[in-house]
Structures are given as C-alpha cells and as structure tokens.
Amino acid sequence: MNNVNSILNSSKGSVLRTMSNINFFTKKNLSDLEHVRLGLLRKNSVYRHGVTRFLPRNKWNTSTPNPYCVKIVDIHPLLLEPEWSIYREIIIFHEFIHCLGYLGHNKEFYKLESLWPTINQKKEQGQKFMQTLKQKNSTWKWICPKCNMNVLRQRKSLGKYICKKCNCKLIDEAI
Ligand SMILES: [Zn+2]
Ligand SMILES: [Zn+2]
C-alpha cells in the first residue's frame, strides 16, 4: 500500500502548492492542512467522491473547526488512477476547504471553490467519474434479445422490464 500513500501524499503536496498561489489562503492555513491525513473511501461508493471526517466535537480545541479537528479526508480509490488526476485534486481541494472550517455548501464555500484553476472541469469530470463507477459496480446487463439494446444494473431484471422499442422482455446477462 506504499504506492497508495505516495500518490496521496504527492497529491496533497500538489494541492497545497496550487493553494499557495491562490490569493486567499494564509501560510497558516497551508501549514495546518499539511497535518491532515488522507485516506480512501470504500471502492463501491458511487455518489461520494470525497469526505472530510471530523473528530468528535468534544475533541476540538476550538468552537469553529480547523484542520486539527479533522480525523481524516477520504477520497475514492479510483481517483488514484492517473487519468483522474485533475478531478482528484479538485476533490481534495474541496475537502480542504471543509477542513478550514467552511462546513456547509453555501455561497461562501462555492466562491472559495471557484478559485481553483481547473474548477470549470469539475462538473464534466464528476459526471464522467460517476458513470465509470456505475459501470464498475454493475454486475448485470439487461439485454433486449431483439435489438440488442442493453443497460448495466446492479440487480437482475427478473423478467420485469421490457424494451420500449421492441416490446420484448429484457434478459439478464452476468458481467
Ligand atoms: Zn463538500
Ligand atoms: Zn429492443
């Protein structure tokens, strides 16, 4: 798992370097964030691509949370693949804003998030990433025997669905 940690650490370094060029974050913000540990979500997570897990409130040294109140930031393991490096850093940056005490997804939060250089790719990358996860998590293919139309699903169709075009019952094929 050394490889995982080295990718996580170099991603953290890269995100912090980019943040140091954004005219908002202080030196203290960045050195505090250095202490945040990065880990991985479960690989079957589809909708969640990153999460900041805070320590219980009674362990906070302050009333508004800071990076020292963070237990770990977990990101999706598939984000470690090189093809997702842009999206990976967007996700880590997003979680780092939470770590700095901006907990909710409000106007202020999104204004900060929008300072990230590749933020205009977030939506497209996020959708592509989710699509990939859905495919990876599917175990069944529902197929129309007539026109070959097919959809990927986690469950069997069990003869309950028909092809809209051909009016044919879909059949299940294991992936
Ligand atoms: Zn968030
Ligand atoms: Zn059909």
pLDDT at position 140 over 70: yes
- 170 and 112 in one domain? no
Instruction: Answer yes or no: do 148 and 86 share one domain.
Output: no
Query: What distance in angstroms lies between residue 105's CA and the mean position of ligand 1's atoms?
Result: 6
Asked if 104 and 123 touch (Cβ cutoff 8 Å), the reply is: no
Domain that holds residue 92: 2-135
The reported pLDDT for the residue numbered 63 is 86
Judged against a pLDDT cut of 80, whether residue 2 lies above it is answered with no
Tell me the average pLDDT of the chain.
95
Query: Looking at the structure, do residues 115 and 146 belong to the same domain, yes or no?
Result: no
Q: Stretch 33-48: mean pLDDT, rounded?
A: 93
Measured from the alpha carbon of residue 105, the closest ligand is 1
87 with 125, same domain: the answer is yes
Distance 102 CA to ligand 1 centre (A): 9
- Please check whether residues 20 and 44 belong to one and the same domain: yes
pLDDT for 1 beyond 70: no
174 compared with 95, residue with greater pLDDT: 95
Q: Is 144 found in the same domain as 117?
A: no
Same domain, 128 and 142: no
Report percent pLDDT > 90 for the chain.
Answer: 84
* Ligand whose nearest atom lies closest to the CA of 144: 2
Q: Is the same domain home to 100 and 148?
A: no
| Helix H or strand E segment including 3 | helix 2-20
Long-range contacts: 122-125, Cβ < 8 Å, 24+?
122/87, 122/90, 125/84, 125/86, 125/87, 125/90
CA nearest to 30, candidates 18, 42, 48 = 18
The structural domain count of the chain equals 2
pLDDT-derived band at 136, boundaries 50, 70, 90 = confident
Same domain, 84 and 151: no
Do residue 57 and residue 125 come from a single domain? Answer: yes
Q: pTM score, two decimals?
A: 0.83
Compute the distance between CA of residue 30 and CA of residue 20 in angstroms, rounded to an integer: 7
The alpha carbon of 59 is separated from its chain's Cα centroid by a whole number of angstroms, namely: 27
Could you tell me the two tokens for 15? 């995100």
Q: Please tell me whether residues 129 and 143 are part of one structural domain.
A: no
Q: Compute, in angstroms, the gap from residue 134 CA to the centroid of ligand 1.
A: 21
Are 96 and 144 within one domain?
no
